[in-house]
Amino acid sequence: MHLKQLAVFLVMFMLLSQHTKAQVRTVTELNDHWKFFKGKNDQAYQKDFNDKKWEEVTVPHDWAIYGPFDKEIDKQVVAIEQNQEKIPTEKTGRTGALPYIGEGWYRQHFDLPHYKEGQKVILLFEGAMSEPKIYLNGEKVGEWNYGYNYFYFDVTDQFVGGKSNTLAVHLSNLGLSSRWYPGAGLYRKVSVIVKNQESIDQWGTYITTPLVSDELAKVNIKTKVSGESLRLLTHILDATGDTVASQASTTPFLNEFDQNIAVERPHLWSPESPYLYSAISQVYVGEELKDEVTTRFGIREIKYERNIGFSLNGEVRKFKGVCLHHDLGPLGTAINIAALRRQMVILKDLGVDAIRSAHNMPSLEQLELADELGFMFVAESFDEWAKPKVKNGYNRFFETDAEKDVVNLVHATRNHPSIVMWSSGNEVPDQWGSEGVKRAKWLQEIFHREDGTRPVTVGMDQVKATMESGFGAVLDIPGLNYRTHLYEEAFETFPQGFILGSETASTVSSRGVYKFPVEKGIEKQYDDFQSSSYDLEYCSWSNLPEDDFILQDDKPWVIGEFVWTGFDYLGEPTPYDEKWPSRSSYFGISDLAGLPKDRYYLYRSRWNTQDETLHLLPHWNWEGKEGENVPVFVYTSYDSAELFVNGKSLGIQKKHHETPQTRYRLMWMDVNYEPGTLKVVAFGKDGKPAAEKAIHTAGKPYQIVMEADRTSIKADGKDISFVTVSVVDKDGHPCPTATDQLTFKVKGKGKYRAASNGDATSLEMFHLPTMKLFSGKLVVLVQSTTEPGDITLSVDGNNLKSGTVKLISE
């Protein structure tokens, strides 16, 4: 190190150790005391507008999730081309049948006592649905069109220090603007950032790890700054908070510092070991600390290589992924960390190691949890480019906004080690023709310009067209949505040397519902608008899980899959999008309440390599079918098992390659139903019994039983305990067909937030404290207040012994 640089470093290090922890930058979340009004109001932007009669809400907020469900909301008469439909038909429930359409106003009055004259003030929005127009103290400061994007405005000139400031936000949601439930309102965080003029720019820190080994990692940190005569001191801290490396820099290139810092014996980030470091970036002018930003990051190496595939930290692996829409079931689209964490914990148990944010930009909270819990991430940008899927979709803004939307996506999220790939689009109609090829190349070059470390994909469904036009050839990673029959041809045609299953399966099922006869079915429909949980039903354009399993297992050039979807979501009630009532999807591995379907255990038996899986289906309550055929399936990580009905053996089944299903499932197709006990005994590799599972014919519902995912939650007014509620008979056997109407009451330092039973046809509103069981279960959400203390949830039902669960908020 040069002597002058060394002297600067020593002085700055001494300053760091001596300076008081004065706040040089403050971030204030505007969560509480928002006023909300749904409707048109030409005066609401004004500073002195009287909003006292407006509803008071907390942000994040989704105004539409409170319902009611109505088939007339956004009723679309359309032929869904990506589903190979030719004739327009009436679609009800396609966007969830919830009242998201219309205008809404939010107002907030705030002051910033820590603000000092001459500082910068930044307004940051992490998502607003949609087309937000932002006003501060009656003056318009900006607008943004894309409801899924993060954006910010410098409002230094509009902000008034020492006084209350009035923030007003106008939102407008058009009909025919979405293919699923988009939500409505300020559904992600809103923050105010106050900092000095001499400071690090918003999203101005960019961390990469260009060289990684077990002994040494090179960490490159680019830091964009504003101001003159600045010096930058950067510390890298490990997960325990110890400093492992530091570097001082005095010479920026234009407005950017570029540092290369060595970290010895690095802990590498992976789904199995999601180790996180922190970079503390401090900006000085002379001896005065002007700004400080902490950025979490991971040290890891990703590669995509022809005829090898994807590798993480030098190890070749395949993505075990799911696609997720952005709604959180009964909470709608309003971001909640407890709900996100619960989803990811469920996915971890399933064995998932990757998530695709379909078809929108992910929330920052979701990415933070992916970093912490260990999920690789495909961050997607758009569902539409210039050609429309729906009349009022993103196609209206593509030409003017796409570049700035991509730039914000990349800048806001590129330090997350979880992101291993960008996706610039999903099933865009632009796949046809030369113009689409140009758009694909243009978008990919923007991603490369802003982040040269990650490749770009597109989820392609028009695979034949993309082979002919060259669309698929220009992509870093060719992503195929379904079209399993074209994988071989696509691999031979595309030059990349590998294929990604960017969207797979779309098998449909309803939790705990079984249909007879048990057979494969395309677009099967029933009078109750449910799909069979034997997991043999799919759509005209999709397939069964085994079709993808075989490609993953037998083709080394297939680098993984992302199943549609990890959880059911609001909207797109395929195959019942022409039926009412039906208002949410059937694609999920888990239902809208987060309760696992049978298919959960089929995937778990393959993906969770740490724990054994043994799951038996269907349930064993078939009054009226005595003596009739009720096939039995077993989803298990074991290769063979023996089935018993009331102690009588029905023989041993082994997995074999005769059919796709028998390769991955154990199936007894000729079982005559008789009430009693259904038991399976699985055998280990030594041929000895290794595990068993039994289910019993239940009597009449007798008692309510409850199980909380967490009995201790934070007293922050946001945390949620998810309580699974079911009923059992007098002997304690679960009642799998119960549909009792239950009521919920919360006492103490908590409140009832919502409930969901996972029934795609239910029109009961989530926020009301009553709901029917569906297939014997539902989930109640209990939310904390800001006061610590005990919480009691009581659940009642007619002719049922009540249930209670005790929680604590602290």
Residues that are catalytic: 427, 503
The candidate with the shortest Cα–Cα distance to 290, out of 197, 363, 215, is 197
Q: What angle do CA 259, 261, 264 make, to 5 degrees?
A: 170
Asked if 590 contacts 322 with a C-beta cutoff of 8 angstroms, the reply is no
User: Which tokens hold the place of 368?
Assistant: 């933070």
E strands along 111-198, which residues? 120-125, 133-136, 139-143, 151-154, 165-173, 190-195
HSE-up of 118 (CA within 13 Å, CB side)?
Answer: 6
Pick the closest to residue 612 from 573, 578, 639, 630 (CA basis). 639
What Cα–Cα distance (Å) separates residue 17 from each residue in 12, 289, 493? 9, 12, 60
Beta strands in 309-409 (DSSP E): 309-312, 315-316, 319-324, 354-357, 376-380
For residue 681, give Cα distances in angstroms to 240, 430, 645, 651, 662: 45, 52, 12, 11, 18
Q: Which H helix or E strand runs over 422?
A: strand 419-426
Q: How many of the other CB atoms lie within 10 Å of CB of 469? A: 20
Q: Is 277 helix (H, G, I), strand (E, B) or coil?
A: strand
Please report, for the chain, how many H helices and E strands are present, in that order.
11, 48
The per-residue b/e assignment along 166-180, b for 16 or more CB within 10 angstroms, e otherwise, is bbbbbbbbbbbbbbb
Q: Give the whole-angstrom CA distance, residue 356 versus residue 360.
A: 9
Cβ contact 426:358 at 8 Å: yes
Spatial distance between the Cα atoms of 766 and 749, rounded to a whole number of angstroms: 21
Structure tokens at 225: 């700054």
> Looking at 144-240, which runs of residues are DSSP E strands?
151-154, 165-173, 190-195, 199-212, 216-226, 230-237
Q: Which two tokens stand for residue 442?
A: 């243009």
CA angle (649, 652, 658) in 5-degree steps: 145
- Is 164 exposed, middle or buried, given 0-12, 13-18 or 19+ CB atoms closer than 10 A? exposed
Contact 71, 97 (CB under 8 A): yes
- Rounded Cα distance between 390 and 387, Å, is 9
Please name the helix (run of DSSP H) or strand (run of DSSP E) that holds residue 257, with its range, or none: strand 256-264
SS3 82: helix
Q: Would you tell me the crossing angle of helices 398-413 and 364-373 to the nearest 10 degrees?
A: 40
At residue 436, the 3 state secondary structure works out as helix
**In contact, 237 and 243? CB cutoff 8 Å:** yes
Q: What is the DSSP-derived secondary structure letter of residue 631? A: -
DSSP, collapsed to helix, strand or coil, labels residue 300 as: coil
d(CA 674, CA 672): 7
- CA 592-594-600 angle, to 5 degrees, is 105
